[in-house]
Amino acid sequence: MHLHRQNHQKNTLMTQKQQNYSFALSVMIVLSFLLGFITTMNNSMIDFCTKAFSLDETQRQLVNTAFYGAYVFSIPIAWILGRMGYKRALVAGMGMVGLGFLLNVLGLSFGYYGFLCCMFIVALGIVLLQVALNPYVLALGPPETAASRLTLNQTFNSLATTVAPVFVSMLIVSGGTYEASAIKAPFIGLGIFSILLGVIVLGLKLPVIPEETETSGDQTRHKSSAFRYPHVLLGTLGIFVYMGVEIGIPSFFPARVQALGLDIDEPTKYLSLYWGGLLVGRALGAGILTRFSARTILLVFSGLSAFCVAASLLTSGWLSLWLFIATGLFHSIMWSCIFSLASADLGPNAKQASGIICTGVIGAAILMPLMGTVQKTIGLTAAICFLFVYYLYLAWFAQKGSRIRTNA
């Protein structure tokens, strides 16, 4: 009888824990939606900024540099995360995002570079959210379904990325006018919403994830630092080149439309189909990753993405454009695969590793201006060909780099 009562209490605690984890995962999904919305909105505004501030090809890519350059602070932010805990880090991230948007009202007085400075503050908040979200989602359940769980979270991130270009078209570029002042009202709204969401998260009861000190089963000790694991560093480089892939396609989309001679007034509307491909891929990917390994999916999808880009360059008209857009379907779950492979078997180093891996996002800040310069000096096709180098590395990481793990 006593044993039966103990088992009942144990099952009740496990059920409560699962319920808490489900609730916490739902909260992370909402935050991930906002994160995806802001990130994609920033990228979708490149064409708007080009016309509103009269920018050349190199200057227009500074939108990506200002936003993704903030990820260079991922490692110190991971240290802050270790001191603050997940919940406080999420609240602080929302506060910074809101502050950055509200400051744009003043920042626009200083022109394009004032706008970039304010977006850098927004980006710092996004980095804090990103560094906290990923390991928290991975910890909210068993390790074997970590990639699937992260992909489920990113499905809603992709839903936001599909909506964001429409938001830019309707509220910022509506009427065909390209004036910097058009962003003030939408940005004030986003700033207030972000701060309110942070206040709501502050009042929620989220489960505390205990730090893992050793692996289950063989009691193997972990190294003293995530920097001592090769697969973490190689995975960081994987995220670096992946950003050139995910952001590269939408960044060069308007130029690609123009090069194909297609009569499209607002390319941003069609760009939402690319982000929609990421949404569909991630929605399906959550189930696919329960049947196939992250390593296999990353390898196959890298090859399929490269095929779409190559076929796009070898064809013309709408067929070429649809092939260019189709890459979004295969880019969809690459992030989840890279992150989960790079984060595997780290124990108490998970938070530090998240900061290290997220540093790779600066790839968008470095690779986009580089590709923009190539486009300006050599041509659009040469810039797009950089994508093949990125796909090749991702295939290598899936096949070999992610297997290099050294235990103490």
Q: Who has greater pLDDT, 235 or 206? A: 235
* % of the chain residues with pLDDT over 70: 85
What is the rounded distance in angstroms from the CA atom of residue 89 to the CA atom of residue 92? 5
Whose structure tokens read 């400075």? 117
Longest dimension (CA), the chain: 80
pLDDT at 18 over 90: no
Sign of the Cα pseudo-torsion (327, 328, 330, 335, in order): positive
Determine the pLDDT at residue 173. Answer: 65
* % of the chain residues with pLDDT over 90: 25
What is the rounded distance in angstroms from the CA atom of residue 21 to the CA atom of residue 142? 11
Across the range 110-115, mean pLDDT stands at: 88
CA dist list (Å): 13 to 17, 25, 137, 267: 6, 18, 20, 52
pLDDT at 405 over 80: no
Q: Who has greater pLDDT, 300 or 276? A: 300
CA torsion, points 184, 186, 192, 196, in degrees to nearest 10?
A: -160
Determine the pLDDT at residue 20. Answer: 57
Domain boundaries, the chain: 2-208+222-403
Q: Contact 335/358 with Cβ under 8 angstroms?
A: no
Whose structure tokens read 């808490």? 20
pLDDT at 232 over 50: yes
Q: Who's near 55: CB < 8 A, 6+ residues apart?
A: 49, 62, 112
Determine the pLDDT at residue 16. Answer: 41
Q: Contact 260/317 with Cβ under 8 angstroms?
A: yes
Q: Who's near 223: CB < 8 A, 6+ residues apart?
A: 229, 349, 406, 407, 408
Amino acid identity of 73? F
Q: Who has greater pLDDT, 248 or 263? A: 248
CA dist list (Å): 35 to 123, 233, 286: 10, 24, 19
Most confident of 9-13, 193-197, 222-226, 364-368: 193-197
Q: 145, exposed or middle or buried, with CB in 10 Å at 0-12, 13-18, 19+?
A: middle
What would the two tokens of residue 359 be? 């540093």
DSSP category for residue 354 = H
Question: Which range among 18-22, 69-73, 281-285, 387-391 shows the weakest confidence by mean pLDDT?
Answer: 18-22
> Where residue 220 falls among pLDDT bands split at 50, 70, 90?
low
Mind listing the pLDDT tens digit for each residue in 145-198? 776 777 777 777 777 767 776 777 676 766 566 777 878 888 898 899 899 988
Mind listing the pLDDT tens digit for each residue in 24-65? 778 888 888 888 888 777 777 777 788 888 887 677 778 878
Q: 366, exposed or middle or buried, with CB in 10 Å at 0-12, 13-18, 19+?
A: middle
Amino acid identity of 339? F
Q: Kindly calculate the radius of gyration of the chain based on its CA atoms and give it in whole angstroms.
A: 21
Looking at domain 2-208+222-403, its CATH superfamily turns out to be: MFS general substrate transporter like domains (1.20.1250.20)
CA angle 151, 62, 106 (to 5 degrees): 100
Q: Who has greater pLDDT, 377 or 406? A: 377
What would the two tokens of residue 379 be? 């041509």
Q: Contact 122/194 with Cβ under 8 angstroms?
A: no
* Mean pLDDT taken over the chain: 81
What is the rounded distance in angstroms from the CA atom of residue 192 to the CA atom of residue 189? 5
| CB atoms closer than 10 angstroms to residue 316 | 13
Determine the pLDDT at residue 309. Answer: 96
